[in-house]
Amino acid sequence: MLADRVPQERHPSLGRIYGVSANMRSDHPLCTRSIFWHTYLACRAMQFASFLHAGVPGWGAVDGGGIRDCRAIAPTLRAALAAGTLPQSAADVAGAPLLPVAGLTLLPPVPDTGRIFCIGLNYVAHREETGRKPTDQPAIFVRFAASVVGHGQPLLLPRESNAYDFEGELAVIIGRPGRRIPEGRALEHVAGYACFMDGSLRDWQMHTHQYTPGKNFDRSGAFGPFLVSAGEVGDPNGDLKLVTRLNGQEVQSTTTDNMIFPVPALINYLSSFTQLEPGDLIATGTPGGVGFKRNPPLFMRAGDTIEVEIERVGLLANTVQKEQLE
């Protein structure tokens, strides 16, 4: 049984995780099991969501049990990032319409992201469990926007594979463009952070040395629930607790200070070969404990629930659904 193969103890810092806004109840459906860090109660930073409302896409600022509709500022969150018009405080959106969360379908925070850069083997435990040797530079692959869904939306287990694996990660969302960004200035280009589930079809990933097929099945990954502003998170490599759970059981656990290549180094490396643009996403890598390296292997099945929870960032939860025959 899964419970016999995974550690049961939860890190005490998980009690400090908060999910959406300083005045949202801790039992709200979007922040179950999250408690708000008391130092943020007096001075709330911003969190942003993208959504469907009556079938129409939109975006806004999270405010209590709802989302302030910010489409009057820019048509999309990505457009607001590019224009530099992202609201900086609750006062900036106080007059915007408040949409109840119950009437919304959450999308990935930046559903129209231009690029999703993924970092492979960025934790020693994961590199060692895969038998890979250290490298001087990070391993990079990409995902497409169609391969990820938002918080609470079903993940699709495709007909072509039953080797559907989990990878919990911290995602970085770029807010300012830049090329050849020095590490010392890298975090100035970050708009915020989110949770990321880099769902992987291992058999398709291993067809060749190129990861693209196994990392890009439609709706196989997840991103969200919100873009949490950089000011709210602080140092992304400052000992933030990251936990992945499958059906409530902890399967991965680490802190983000264990990254081999920290966020500033990743931004520096990526911006050396391409200009980073607002809305670009960097999935910073997964820790050890992935399913395909367990004995026996542990893969996700239809009906499973997968969660990625990161201190100061929030809780991303999705269920797995078998792809229906057409």
C-alpha of 164 from chain center:
18
Question: Structure pTM?
Answer: 0.86
Domain ranges of the chain: 2-322
Beta bridge partners of 326: none
Q: What is the pLDDT of residue 14?
A: 27
116-155 confidence digits (pLDDT tens): 999 999 999 999 999 999 999 999 999 999 999 999 999 9
146-200 confidence digits (pLDDT tens): 999 999 999 999 999 999 999 999 999 999 999 999 999 999 999 999 999 999 9
User: Any idea which fold 2-322 has?
Assistant: Fumarylacetoacetate hydrolase; domain 2 (3.90.850)
Those residues of the chain that have pLDDT short of 50 are 1-44
Beta strand ranges found along the chain (DSSP E): 47-53, 56-63, 66-69, 98-100, 104-107, 116-120, 139-143, 148-149, 155-157, 164-165, 168-174, 190-197, 200-201, 221-229, 241-246, 249-255, 281-283, 305-310, 314-322
Q: What is the pLDDT of residue 114?
A: 96
